[in-house]
Amino acid sequence: MKRKIGLMVGFAMVVALGLATVSHAQQAIDMKDMKALCEEGYANASQTKDIVANGVKVVGAEINDESSELKKGEFEDGKFWYEKANKLLDSSRAKMDKGEYTKDISIDLNQAWQWYIKAGAAVTRAGMQE
């Protein structure tokens, strides 16, 4: 029970800190500085990825044949969005490594971050199920 509460609190903190970070980044970075926007977007998404990855690992270890269909379904939903976000984050990083910093990459990084949040929410719900 303590682990489930810890997982929920941890995810809530990620969302709150993520929102604060994104809000701060938009104020502190010149919206025309695509390199800075992309780097900030990448940092936000990759930090959120690290936290969600831990949830995927913890909750994934709980899944077994006796787990409810709801628990399994929520976990699979979380994994789907986590993997989708990983692909987008990786493709964005590859473009950035080639020196590309565009509005589209910045948008993709924000999308990846949102998908990590969605994945984290589903994994957290899975962790709350029996």
- Give the residue from 98, 83, 95, 103 showing the smallest Cα distance to 34: 103
pLDDT band at 1 (very low <50, low <70, confident <90, very high): low
Between 29 and 79, the more confident residue is: 79
- Output the pLDDT for position 32: 79
Write out pLDDT tens, residues 23-68.
454 555 566 789 999 999 999 999 999 999 999 999 999 999 999 9
The percent of residues above 90 in pLDDT, for the chain, comes to 74
* The pLDDT value given to residue 63: 94
Distance in angstroms (rounded) separating the CA atoms of residues 81 and 57: 15
99: left (phi over 0), alpha (psi -120 to 50) or beta: left
**Centroid of chain to Cα 70:** 21
